[in-house]
């Protein structure tokens, strides 16, 4: 078993210099254990009781989750400290190749194509919804204008009024649900998550890369490539 240990913090010499003020002097430990026989590696991260925490990203949801000790992979996106200029973010693989961002731009390229597919799928769904929603509304409107005799409700008594409302209320609810469905825009949610995941791989840069920058494999702000 081979073991590589990376101590990360503002007060230690690591694979990259951490100067962010939200990072503790001794912040976190990343351990890579290599199985000598198979060559397989196991990555782990451990928070060393840092003030502002250690976070890893769930790539399915884009959410950053605070961890004390957890298994990671070379592709894991890590944040030490708060989510602003006082913290730093990087991909775990950067510890092994701190001189370039080749692996990171490959990962970012993967993120771009994954999100394009997801947005395309959502686009198709939105088109379907744009077709269905007006029809639903039209139906509700037509039905609510029908004389109540058509539903078998006759007379003007209180019971007839109550029966009428029994029909009108579900109609209104149907209309309301249709309206909310039309308003809920999942594409916006996806786009926001997508933006947060296009963060520059250079620790401390915090720039949101455009698709063009990812394609060019270079950050326009810090020139990382």
β-bridge mates for residue 57, sequence order: 64
Choosing from 89, 93, 202, 214, the residue that interacts with Zn ion (CB under 5 A) is 202
CA angle 67, 70, 74 (to 5 degrees): 110
34 vs 103 by CB, closer to Zn ion: 103
CB of 222 to Zn ion, least distance (A): 3
20 contributes a contact to Zn ion by CB under 5 A: no
CB of 220 vs Zn ion, minimal distance in Å: 8
**Residue 147, Cα to own-chain centre: how many angstroms?**
50
Judged by CB under 5 A, which stretch of 10-18, 78-86, 104-112, 192-200 contacts Zn ion?
192-200
Q: Are 27 and 6 in contact (CB under 8 A)?
A: no
Closest approach of Zn ion to the CB of residue 132, in Å:
43
The string of DSSP letters for 37-73 reads TT--EEEEEEE-S-SS-EEEE-TTT--EEEESEEEE-
State which of residues 207, 208, 217, 218 lies at the interface with Zn ion (CB under 5 A). Answer: 207
Residues interacting with Zn ion, by CB under 5 A? 200, 202, 205, 207, 219, 221-222, 224
């Amino acid at each position: 078993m081979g073991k590589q240990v990376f101590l990360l913090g503002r007060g230690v010499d690591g694979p990259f210099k951490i100067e962010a003020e939200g990072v503790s002097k001794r912040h976190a430990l990343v351990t890579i254990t290599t199985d000598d026989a198979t060559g397989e590696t196991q990555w782990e991260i451990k928070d060393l009781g840092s003030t502002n925490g250690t976070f890893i990203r769930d790539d399915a949801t884009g959410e950053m989750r605070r961890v004390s000790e957890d298994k990671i992979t070379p592709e894991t996106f890590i944040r030490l400290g708060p989510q602003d200029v006082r913290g730093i973010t990087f991909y775990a693989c950067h510890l092994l190749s701190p001189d370039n961002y080749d692996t990171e731009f490959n990962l970012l390229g993967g993120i771009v194509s994954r999100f394009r597919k997801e947005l395309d799928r959502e686009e198709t769904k939105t088109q379907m919804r744009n077709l269905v929603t007006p029809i639903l509304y039209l139906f509700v409107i037509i039905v609510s204008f029908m004389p109540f005799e058509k539903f078998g409700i006759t007379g003007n008594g209180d019971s007839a009024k109550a029966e009428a409302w029994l029909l009108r209320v579900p109609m209104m609810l149907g209309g309301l649900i249709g309206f909310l469905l039309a308003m809920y825009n999942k594409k916006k949610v996806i786009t926001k998550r997508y933006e947060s995941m296009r963060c520059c791989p250079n620790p401390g840069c915090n720039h949101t890369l455009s698709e063009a920058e990812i394609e060019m494999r270079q950050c326009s702000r810090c020139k990382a490539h």
